[in-house]
Amino acid sequence: MIQVENLVFQYPGNDGPTLKGLDFSIAKGEIFGFLGPSGAGKSTAQKVLYKILEGYKGQVNIDGKNLSEWNNSYFERIGVGFELPNHYLKLTGKENLELFAAFYPNGKKHNSTELFEMVDLADAMDKPVETYSKGMKMRLNFIRAIQHDPDILFFDEPTSGLDPVNAHKIKQHILDLKNHGKTIFVTTHSMETADGICDRVSFIVDGKLVLTDTPRNLKSRYGKEAVKVDLKNGQSEEFPLKDLGVNPQFLEFLKQDEVKRIHTLEATLEEVFIRVTGKSLGDE
Amino acid sequence: MKKIFKLAFTDFKLIFRDPSLRSFLVLPVILFALIIWAVPPLIEKYAILAPYLSLFLVVGVIENTQMFSFISSMVLIDEKESDVAKVYGVVPLNKMEYVLSRFLIPYLFTVVLNLVLLFVQNICDLSVGAIMLISFLAALVVPVYALAINSMVQNRMQGMVYIKAFNMLVLIPVAAFFVPEKFVHLFGVFPTHWVFQAIDKATQNLSIGLFAAIGFVFFLSLLWFVSRTFVQKHFV
């Protein structure tokens, strides 16, 4: 669906390029994530793909057609969830949504009331956006991005500014979109978001892609394929996952006391990121 | 067309819901009151003002354009500052359609204000043709002004500074009325000079065709240039 080869982009006036030769592809129905610290080039890459930034070098194909050859119809096929809330504060949530809905053909559009209900904003849809909290505005960002039922979705830090409950709901909605065949490109510096929703992630640092794989592969490749068992008596031991169910030492150890905790020793995405890139996701 | 009217209608909602912008809508009323009721008694009382009749109209016409120049500039600056402009960059709306939708109504509204002002004033006798030409020409200040400002500024604070500067810039060619004849058209580098000269000729019942033509070419060229600059910067 999306193929990117040797993508280079430099902002006018900057000394060097922000994107330094990115290669990646996103299959139809896949959730693909860019994981990296602020300033790594995540949002810039998305902006090139949704045609806000021009003057890039390299090849970007959408459905086999060069991005530059797509006309305005491209914008009917994509939806963009921006990193920060961007709405007319003097208009109500519903007026904001309906204003931008007016630019799309009628056929595929979702019912606006249902969208507000979906993100628990039904009570606030007729109130001016200036009365919304940041989390409410972010949820409005989300439904604005999906209201015309686009095939390709770009979400820039989709859970930023949301409380844990709403962040979970938005992640669930993104997974639902994937289940409906949507192709989704997410950028985030939240390991939890990337791990929770992405089929594949790329680590991006200083405008370069360092590693691309599924979160599961990354975590197991850079962690231990083992479990650690903690007993209530304070004993603790590690056992390999292979043949765990028939491992006599493991079975014997379980009999020694009540089990307090059993957990796998796979690495978190953040640990993998730090080991691979030498940088933390919080780095500027 | 539906998109254009939707956006234009939204602009009016934004204006009426913002007290600072809404208050600017009374500006033309004040201006009309001054031109209709305050200026004629002044001219009658002070004969020294008689040679400057056209100046009253020049100021009246240009101030008429300032209402929507300010309002449109502020609406777009707010849009830029709040990042709403970025949303327009990713919807299926042609960028020139966007520009047209933001300025068609303010432009036509300003044309109507100028028509009303020039028809109801009783300072000078003007032909219908001249009134029409001057009204359509002078209203072009609105899109050029707002697009130029929005090609340069990033936020409200910068916007206010530039608006102050532009308010002075549009009036600078008034100085042409006070310099020797051979220096008058040195002010032609300012587009409003040609509007002012057209008004001056109209008050003398002379042909305004040449000045109006230069004015239209100047304004439309500027409009093309600032629209392109604006489109490159506004949605990023």
Predicted confidence (pLDDT) per residue in A97-125, tens digit: 999 998 888 766 889 999 999 999 999 99
Nearest CA in chain A to B16: A90
Do residue A144 and residue B87 have CB atoms under 8 angstroms apart? yes
**Is B208's pLDDT higher than 70?**
yes
Strands (E), A149-274: 152-156, 183-188, 200-205, 208-213, 226-231, 236-240, 259-264
Name residue B57's amino acid: L
Min distance A102 CA to chain B CA atoms (Å): 6
Average pLDDT, chain B: 91
Do residue B93 and residue A103 have CB atoms under 8 angstroms apart? yes
B66-81 pLDDT, tens per residue? 989 999 999 999 999 9
**What pLDDT is recorded for position A107?**
64
For A:91-130, CB contacts with B below 8 A are 91, 95, 99-100, 102-104, 128
The structure tokens listed for B214 are 């230069």
pLDDT band, very low/low/confident/very high, at B221 (cuts 50, 70, 90) = very high
Out of A86, A95, A100, closest to residue B82 by CB: A86
**What pLDDT is recorded for position B123?**
86
Parse chain B into domains and list their residue ranges: 1-235
A236-268 pLDDT, tens per residue? 999 998 899 999 999 999 999 999 999 888 888
Read off the pLDDT of each residue in B186-198 and give the average, rounded to a whole number: 95
**What pLDDT is recorded for position A284?**
46
**What pLDDT is recorded for position A281?**
64
Average pLDDT, chain A: 91
Judge whether A179 and A202 are in contact, CB under 8 Å. no
**What pLDDT is recorded for position B175?**
94
Name residue B195's amino acid: V
Window from A167-171, A238-242, A280-284 with minimum mean pLDDT:
A280-284
What is the percentage of chain B residues whose pLDDT exceeds 70? 100
Do residue B14 and residue A73 have CB atoms under 8 angstroms apart? no
Read off the pLDDT of each residue in B202-225 and give the average, rounded to a whole number: 95
Task: Spell out which residues of chain A touch residue B93, defining contact as CB-CB under 8 Å.
Answer: 72, 75, 103
Task: Spell out which residues of chain B touch residue A51, defining contact as CB-CB under 8 Å.
Answer: 89-90
What is chain B's length? 236
Out of A75, A84, A95, closest to residue B90 by CB: A75
* Residue of B91, B228, B231, B233 to mutate, interface with A, max A Cβ within 10 Å: B91
DSSP string, A29-76: T-EEEEE--TTSSHHHHHHHHTTSS---EEEEEETTEEGGG--THHHH
Do residue A88 and residue B83 have CB atoms under 8 angstroms apart? no
**Is A283's pLDDT higher than 60?**
no
**Is B229's pLDDT higher than 90?**
yes
Distances in Å between the Cα of A171 and the Cα atoms of A82, A215, A216, B57 are 15, 16, 18, 62
- Give the separation between CA A270 and CA A203, rounded to whole angstroms: 10
A33-72 pLDDT, tens per residue? 998 888 889 999 999 999 999 899 999 999 989 999 998 8
Read off the pLDDT of each residue in B167-188 and give the average, rounded to a whole number: 93
Q: Which residue has the tokens 């204000």?
A: B113
Task: Spell out which residues of chain A touch residue B17, defining contact as CB-CB under 8 Å.
Answer: 90-91, 128
Min distance B22 CA to chain A CA atoms (Å): 13
- State the CATH architecture for A2-215: 3-Layer(aba) Sandwich (3.40)
DSSP string, B186-209: GGGGSTHHHHHHHHHHHHTT---H
- Residue A134's contacts (CB-CB under 8 Å, 6 or more residues apart) are A85, A161
Instruction: Using an 8 Å CB-CB cutoff, list residues of chain B that contact chain A.
Output: 2-3, 6-7, 10, 13-14, 17-18, 79, 82-84, 86-87, 89-94, 235-236
Nearest CA in chain A to B97: A103
**What pLDDT is recorded for position A282?**
61
**What pLDDT is recorded for position B44?**
86
Task: Spell out which residues of chain A touch residue B3, defining contact as CB-CB under 8 Å.
Answer: 102-103
Judge whether A129 and A116 are in contact, CB under 8 Å. no
Parse chain A into domains and list their residue ranges: 2-215, 224-265
- Give the separation between CA A14 and CA A281, rounded to whole angstroms: 24
The structure tokens listed for A91 are 């208009």
The pTM (predicted TM-score) of the whole model is 0.85
Nearest CA in chain A to B236: A52
Do residue B84 and residue A103 have CB atoms under 8 angstroms apart? no
Dihedral sign, Cα of residue A195, residue A79, residue A37, residue B79: negative
What is the percentage of chain B residues whose pLDDT exceeds 90? 62
* Cα angle B2-B145-A55, degrees, rounded to a multiple of 5: 70
